Structure 1
Amino acid sequence: MTRETRTLPAFEAGPVEVPFTILGWSEDFAHDTTWNEHSHPFHELLWNERGASTAVVGARAWTVTPALGLWMPAGTLHSGSAIAGTRCRANFFGFDTMTSISETPAGVEITPLLRLLLERLADTGLPDGSRAVTEAMVLDVLTPSPRELLLHMPVSELLRPIADAVREDPGDPRTLADWASQLGVSPRTITRAFNTETGTSFARWVAAVRAQHAVALLTRGWEVDAVAEEVGYRSASAFGAAFRRTTGLTPGAFRAR
């Protein structure tokens, strides 16, 4: 499949002359697309009308979907990618017109109300008064969410083979004991490394990888049973339980409609 690479500049946070407090952008992607590491002078809310995309800041990777967006503070260096068929949406918030809702990237739940307000702002014929009211309502309801599809990537030589294998095949059945035997170390060594580098256990990290991959498949229209098998669960119920523990949402929340 053709992959497109786009290069964008890096800007420091700062005021930029814009006609509105909140500007909107959208694009349909016919090909898998990646963006280099870049930054904007304004704050950015990333979300999708359909499909899944990824934003990466350092060793942290977020999955962006129609249900869960990502707040990117002005000046934050990030790279990204979107799978073919995704309709990406973004809203840009003037640096000098609002205080960032978070000093660091943060998940944002794209509620029906927030979606309607953002879609209303996409109307270029919206009267100035109506636009100002709608922008004020967006700023009023826009808050960080404890729900986010975030993956902390391990970086050590010890964990890199595990990370590469699981991300390549989220259904990889190897357990902590299997990996310890293959790498010639104790399970305790791998456990300590995962806790240190990712802030979570091996099992929870694998569950997060599987959840991110599952979301990409669900947004493409895959059935839950097929997704469960693809990401290594023996049943849809086991997958659903693990998915809810990881994301706080059901797989159905991400199913393409």
Structure 2
Amino acid sequence: MSAGKLVRRRVGDLAFKAFCWVVTALALVALAAILWSLLAQGFGGLNLEVFTKSTPAPGSPGGLANAIAGSIMMCVLAMVMAVTIGVLAGTWLAEYGGRSKYGAVVRFLNDVLLSAPSILVGLFVYEILVFPFHGFSGFAGSVALALLAVPVITRTTEDVLLLQASTLREAGVALGAPLSYVIRLILWRSARAGLLTGALLAFARISGETAPLLFTALNNQFFSLDLRHPTANLPVVIFNFALSAYDDWRKLAWAGALLIAATVLAVTIVARIVAQEQKRS
């Protein structure tokens, strides 16, 4: 290799590294600015009333208790539906029909849903659960969130099960156990850390979604545990309060944003820890 080519390669390598460093630094600066704004504004609105009082009228004392309760109920119901459907669908793709043409179609549709805009999911659920019944509901919001979580859990379940050693299946079948028994009592137990990681990541995905809830759950100013009616939730309350002209509402919006960010951060950290434990085992 000539000296000129060697110099050009080294210069190109240094330029590429410098570009990567600059882009990474810009991304970190932007992230730090967002986090600083969230912490500086969010902590100012946090107090005991945020967790004990419902959303107030402008100029009145209040908190986010109804929105927090509504978000928890809808996310829990959504995760119950999503985990049930996602784990079963991912198991079918990994163990039964993943190599068939039908399995390829299912996998393709799952990938489409994985990247589908959440507002489209909200519109779809609005057409099948809100408009026909002439009313918004927390149940419709849970269905919309579940549709966003199912593709994540399905893909994670399939990938985790495919990583399990084939000797586990062979050993179970060799003892005379049907494949369904092997899956339930051997493969799912062996992959439980990965399945839990997928569920946690799906929860982190849906916990801050606003667009689908605007078309399904909408909002409720009062505290209610009935998901058959419009239900308060943190994303929609943040959306409404952040655009208002009232300082107390905007302060509550920042506090709600901080609560969601802290929840997502905690769930992500737990998912990372679980993934690391799975690698060690």
TM-score by length of 1: 0.26
Greater RCO (CA < 8 Å, at least 6 residues apart): 2
Q: Which has the larger strand fraction?
A: 1
If the length of structure 2 is used for normalisation, what is the TM-score? 0.24
Larger Rg: 2
